[in-house]
Structure 1
Amino acid sequence: MADQGKALAELWRGLDTGSAYTTWIDFQDDGAGEIFIKPVKSDWFVQFSLQFGELLYQLRAALDSCVYDAALIHKGKLTAKEEKAVMFPICTDDPEFRNSERRIEPLPDKLRAYIESIQPYKKVVITNNVGTYPLSQILDILNRWSVIDRHRRLHIVGTIPMSGRIELSPPNGMTVDELIFESGGILEDQSKIGTCKIGNFFRGPKIGVKTQLAFEIGVKDGDVIAIASNSIPATLVVVWEIMEQFKKFFGIA
């Protein structure tokens, strides 16, 4: 897991945003304009998506490994049926969990109760010395994203302009009467990042546009855009917390 996290960080640090994007303005005849940004270098998207998918696999597998190892410690030996069935269930409601209880049948009662207590529908939040994390919600996200990855549909990963500054350089005689930055959506193709109004506007002369933007890496989950820089560390913390609880149950330091 550490290797995938390191690879993701190196990809992000190595991204030259200056050469990866182009910016332009679409003007109306009255001088009202919309400012757009578009990726021109997207090869890193695929690399990041592959590393991200591998990280999801490792995190999900770590939870399944906890259940498998705990079952072995508790029973000593598993039947062929149990070997095939055991895994860490992540369920959206109580009926789904009841249908999945066979996955954790070889575990001690208290450990089964713990797994049930942190399911997504339980809405558990944990706090440690780093921060507060919606454990149950993060488990749900991890499960959904790992399912997407198993079906070989790469997560739609891109950058999101979160904050920044836009500078316009109109020719003599024109004025910048209004300039507003807008945080755009995930940059899969192009995003509107601002609006402007140019006084004494006329077509012909080029109006220069310069941007200084702060980007975040985003992952599209249905209609929701998640910030990877928030989601990845939080998921690591949650999986680590669950692993620690399993170790404490068996008195493993």
Structure 2
Amino acid sequence: MAQPQTDDLFEKCFARIDRAVYHSNEAADTWNKLDVLGLHGISLRIESDGTGEFNVRQLGPLPQTLELLIGEYLYQLRAALDGATYACAIEDSGQNPPAKASTIEFPICGSIADWPKQARKIAQLNPGRRRFIEALQPFAEPSVDASLRIANANRSLGLLNDLARLDRHRRLHTFFTTIGTDAPILDLPEGVSLKSLVIRPSSDHTGPIARFSLDGWREGMELHANPNADIELSLEGMPPAAHNNDTFANRLKSIVMNVRIVISLLQKNSWIEPASSRLSISGIVS
């Protein structure tokens, strides 16, 4: 049986990826044009005994434009995966349209117990393609060093699926800023020393960014401080960072990178037999 030509379908998938990158760049441009400092309030409180806290908090909502752009980004990437799966079904079944076309999509599954049901969506694909897609599932995420999780395909596809489902079925995403610091700067009066400093963990978004205690502090003294903070964009409902490189921006880059690789390999349709090697995808996010 002659194999149907699907190059045009795959090209449309890559066009969707390019469109997603366009939307993410628009979101980044919107973020970069914001008066981020003006959106935040800084407060410093110190008690007579020398204990105090330092806080930076968001004062108001971020532009809804960010939510709309990221929603488009998620839609295009999810549609690209589904479109590539449909193209594969045409090739492997030899039919255009393939049987039960409405049931064909790229499954993304977080539970191995649910995989048999999800795998029905790719039943018309050849065994190599089915093995490949199964190896990419979030439930099959390998154990790697925290610094490498940002580039992992299983994790990236899980993030894409969760965020796209939330955007599609519930509401627009809610953006907020995360504020973190490694070393706030305290300009201490003469004769005063820092007794202790406790910095809020990066995974925690509530409460003061730092608590401190001073020796030699007396009422009437003045304390000047700089939070020396990094302000990052984040989405409500996203899991906490696994590492310092696991930022919102790097997650977007990793999702795009992995979707592009996955579709490229599905189009190539060249597979390793199960007994010969374990399949893995890795990459570097700069």
- What TM-score does the superposition give when structure 2 sets the normalisation length? 0.71
Match of 1:33 among 52, 58, 63: 52
- Cross-structure match for 1:102: 120
Check whether the contact 1:168–1:176 (CA below 8 A) recurs between aligned residues: no
Q: CA deviation at 1:191?
A: 4.0
Runs of 5+ unmatched residues, structure 1: none
Match of 2:135 among 79, 103, 117: 117
Deviations 1:76-100 (A, max 9, x none): 3235x62210100111233422112
- SS of alignment partner, residue 43 of structure 1: coil
Which residues in structure 2 correspond to 1:150-161 (within 5 Å)? 150-161=168-179
Match of 2:72 among 49, 54, 70: 54
- Cross-structure match for 1:142: 160
Match of 1:201 among 218, 221, 230: 218
- Cross-structure match for 2:255: 235
Residue identity (%): 22
Hey, which bits of structure 1, 4+ residues long, moved more than 6 A?
none
Q: Distance in 1 between matches of 2:191 and 2:209?
A: 22
Runs of 5+ unmatched residues, structure 2: 1-19, 271-286
Measured on the aligned residues, the alpha-carbon RMSD in Å equals: 3.2
- SS of alignment partner, residue 36 of structure 1: strand
- SS of alignment partner, residue 221 of structure 1: coil
Which residues in structure 2 correspond to 1:128-139 (within 5 Å)? 133-139=151-157
The yes-or-no answer on 1:214 pairing with 2:222 is no
- Cross-structure match for 1:248: 268
> What is the number of residues matched between the two proteins?
242
- SS of alignment partner, residue 92 of structure 1: coil
- SS of alignment partner, residue 228 of structure 2: strand
Q: Structure 2 counterpart of 1:57, which letter?
A: Y
Q: Distance in 1 between matches of 2:165 and 2:102?
A: 19
Match of 2:194 among 147, 168, 177: 177
The yes-or-no answer on 1:6 pairing with 2:13 is no
Residues 120 and 166 (structure 1 numbering): CA distance in 2 closer, same or farther, change over 3 Å?
closer
Deviations 1:31-58 (A, max 9, x none): 21011111124333x3323322221221
Q: CA deviation at 1:165?
A: 5.0
Check whether the contact 1:68–1:87 (CA below 8 A) recurs between aligned residues: yes
Q: Distance in 2 between matches of 1:93 and 1:163?
A: 36
- What TM-score does the superposition give when structure 1 sets the normalisation length? 0.79
Higher RCO structure (Cα 8 Å, ≥6 apart): 2
